A and B are shown apart, each in its own frame.
Chain A
């Protein structure tokens, strides 16, 4: 049975920002952070942590990894409550973290990087090459870091997180710099790890790339969790549905007339024309699309000898979901920045 490996209950954290004063040059104020965060990482689950830049994803990841110490709240690890001071080593043994944007450079090699981390963990160094093989870096084990591509750097970062076979994996923006092929492979590796019972938290500001691999998502905005759960359920809850996109090789002049033949109720659509591409975007009805209506729309065009070369559902972007959940306008939700706090420490 799946169990909660790590739980956060009402955790708060604020970064301390230097704010020197004449008589107190070391003065600091509470800056941005995260507030009232409650979540559970469950074995065998892949959770997507989604939010725009500055939402607090990296701060939350660092708190989960024990790199930052919460100001307030409760941490339960494997059923045991942990004090908010330094995280004990036994809990760190069970957490692997892949921080965002590690700059691997220099004449060192993946082998040496992993060798050092093995040594830090007091592990034997006799299977480093096999270990690097697991993330597809076996053949590059002794190449210099400068000669590796961005994708290989990401694999090396993942390898660092996997050392010691931790039960919880925290991956901060792991898809950055990966090409589509590498992303597929990466998703496959993560699914395998989840099958082995690992709890995986993977952060991204791109919803689409997470959609296929996560079991549920945590939506963050302005340092708070604004929604959690299955993505499909969130969409249903807030009435967010995919728009239909039809692309034609030439302009359709009598579009209103064609669609009126179909007896569709309240069909709202927009058209755009770029060179030879004529695109129709039909807004989703309130309850979402049913298969029959989509089929009828397609038939309506085909019966009028208008054959689309593309017929798809538009991917829903993060900003649209955030807009629905926060109630903010789509244009404003991405640009809304938090003001920094001003409480003296």
Chain B
């Protein structure tokens, strides 16, 4: 028991060290204003009742504003995880530092988890802080706060999507042999879920005989919600949609829960497994 407590303490210390080191990097200096502009700016803009939003997009409640802002979270914060984590393992491996760390009498699982928490929380903490600031911006514009439940769901889902990306990034970083392949794999994984996923969904729908010419039809909405469970971005949106009214593609809670548990544990497990097998 005391060994487990010691291990947890060590994990906490190492993660804190990782976060501190990551927060002081040039990458973070670049990322912070981007997060501020994307998340804060979008919340401010969507909550402006006089703003003319494209198409039939409308945000009438604070949570709907947060839901619309979540698209900007997907574009900025997940990219931030890519920025911080794409070479998290490969850089240490190529510099020889990983060999020194692997020689130390500490379990690789703890070292790997500290890397994972380091990358995740480096982006998640500023994102949460900026999201809380956004709540104040929304209040300024709409004179209303989201409910505590809505706020917890938003922060919980946002933190989770960043954890999923951190696991994916570190997993691909552990496979990368050099900086070039680390960038390619890291950005490639981000592009797959952020840009290409809709194309994949449409192609699959066409192959399986689902009408993909009209994305508003119920059959396609139901199909896309199932495919989205296989994408971190899609699942993030589905989690937030669970709290929205007038959404046609709601999934049962048990399906969302299974997908959430899968994305939280399976990529992290594979990363730690890979980290344990890694040749430094």
Q: Could you list which residues of chain A lie within 8 angstroms of chain B, going by C-beta atoms? A: 62, 65-68, 89-90, 92-93, 95-97, 99-105, 107-108, 112, 115-117, 119-122, 157, 160-161, 163-164
Contacts and interface: CB of A to CB of B under 8 A. Distances in A.
A101 B93 CA distance: 12
A201 to B, nearest CB: 14
Given A89-B106, A117-B104, A122-B6, A67 B96 contact: no
B119 to A, nearest CB: 16
Interface of B: 6, 10, 13-14, 17, 21, 24, 94-97, 99-107, 111, 279-280
B100 A117 contact: yes
A115 B13 CA distance: 11
A121 B94 contact: no
A103 B96 contact: yes
B209 to A, nearest CB: 30
Given A67-B279, A67-B280, A68-B279, A120 B106 contact: yes
Nearest to A91: B105
Contact of A93 (B17, B101, B105): B105
Given A116-B17, A120-B14, A99 B100 contact: yes
B10 A122 contact: yes
Contact of A121 (B24, B97, B106, B280): B106
B96 A65 contact: no
Contacts of A100: 96
B103 A102 contact: no
A121 B104 contact: yes
Contacts of A99: 96, 99-100, 280
Nearest to B276: A86
Nearest to B278: A67
A187 B6 CA distance: 38
A120 B111 CA distance: 8
A90 B105 contact: yes
Shortest beta-carbon contacts, A-B, top 7:
A102-B96, A89-B105, A92-B105, A103-B95, A99-B99, A93-B105, A97-B103
A279 B37 CA distance: 76
Contacts, number: 69
Nearest to A160: B100
Given A102-B97, A103-B94, A96 B13 contact: no
Given A67-B280, A108-B21, A120-B111, A92 B104 contact: yes
A112 B18 CA distance: 11
A58 B225 CA distance: 52
Nearest to B106: A120
B76 to A, nearest CB: 25
16 contacts: A62-B99, A62-B280, A67-B102, A89-B106, A89-B107, A92-B104, A97-B99, A97-B100, A99-B280, A102-B95, A103-B96, A117-B100, A120-B106, A121-B106, A122-B106, A157-B100
A99 B94 CA distance: 12
Interface centre among B94, B99, B111 (most CB of A within 10 A): B99
Contacts of A161: 100
Contacts of B6: 122
B105 A96 contact: no
Given A93-B105, A120-B10, 16 more contacts: A67-B99, A67-B102, A90-B105, A92-B103, A97-B100, A99-B96, A99-B99, A102-B96, A103-B94, A117-B104, A121-B104, A121-B106, A122-B6, A160-B100, A161-B100, A163-B104
A163 B266 CA distance: 35
Given A67-B279, A99-B96, A103-B95, A119 B14 contact: yes
